[in-house]
């Protein structure tokens, strides 16, 4: 349903179309070289292409490995941090590229990506090498725990007395509730 809403393509529309393996082999013939460079808008497209090729048990070695993701270059072109991911449609409009066809259509999006490339290409654009088997390492978050002993010592120092176990449990609960910021409000 989400893809259907985004693209307007329904499953029954694909029933009489060529199979993925047939289209893939025609595509490989069309590009005619493993030295070709994919020009993509976001790295998800190249990742999905490789996943589909693997799913249909086709040869991924026939695909070019070089690619240029235009998204960060477009951000830099508009003097924004390259981590800002601009939408294809927004960049098309910002570059005043005529909008003749709808977005979220593979052929149309490829056309718009090519038009953006023509307008923002520069000598600093370097292709990356796609590794379909690369798994981004997960950064382990440090586990942080409350130093209850230090917390209670601080309170005992502030109030110049020792606390009962019940008082300590109230202090600990209040501290935890304060960390959630659920009781903060704006000053007027």
Confidence of residue 12 (pLDDT cuts 50, 70, 90): confident
Structural domains in the chain, sorted by start: 2-129 (3.30.420.10), 140-188 (no CATH)
pLDDT at 94 over 70: yes
Q: How far apart are CA 64 and CA 36, in angstroms?
A: 6
Q: What is the pLDDT of residues 49-63, one digit of tens each?
A: 999 999 999 999 999
**Residue 26 pLDDT:** 95
- Please say whether the dihedral angle defined by the alpha carbons of residues 29, 35, 36 and 41, taken in this order, is positive or negative: positive
**Residue 53 pLDDT:** 95
pLDDT at 100 over 80: yes
Q: What is the pLDDT of residues 61-71, one digit of tens each?
A: 999 999 999 99
pLDDT at 170 over 90: yes
**Residue 1 pLDDT:** 64
């Amino acid at each position: 349903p989400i893809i259907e809403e985004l693209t307007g393509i329904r499953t029954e529309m694909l029933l009489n179309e060529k199979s993925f393996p047939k289209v893939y082999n025609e595509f490989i013939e069309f590009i005619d070289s493993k030295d070709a460079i994919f020009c993509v808008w976001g790295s998800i497209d190249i990742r999905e292409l490789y996943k589909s090729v693997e799913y249909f048990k086709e040869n991924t070695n026939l695909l070019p490995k070089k690619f240029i993701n235009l998204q960060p270059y477009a951000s830099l072109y508009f003097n924004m941090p390259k981590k800002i991911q601009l939408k294809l449609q927004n960049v098309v409009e910002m570059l005043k590229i005529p909008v003749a066809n709808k977005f979220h259509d593979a052929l149309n999006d490829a056309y718009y990506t090519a038009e953006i490339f023509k307008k923002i290409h520069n000598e600093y654009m370097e292709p990356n090498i796609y590794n379909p088997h690369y798994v981004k390492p997960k950064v382990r978050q440090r586990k942080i725990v409350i130093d209850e002993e230090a917390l209670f010592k601080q309170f005992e120092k502030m109030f110049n007395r020792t606390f009962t176990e019940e008082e300590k449990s109230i202090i600990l609960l209040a501290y935890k509730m304060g960390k959630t910021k659920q009781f903060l409000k704006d000053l007027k």
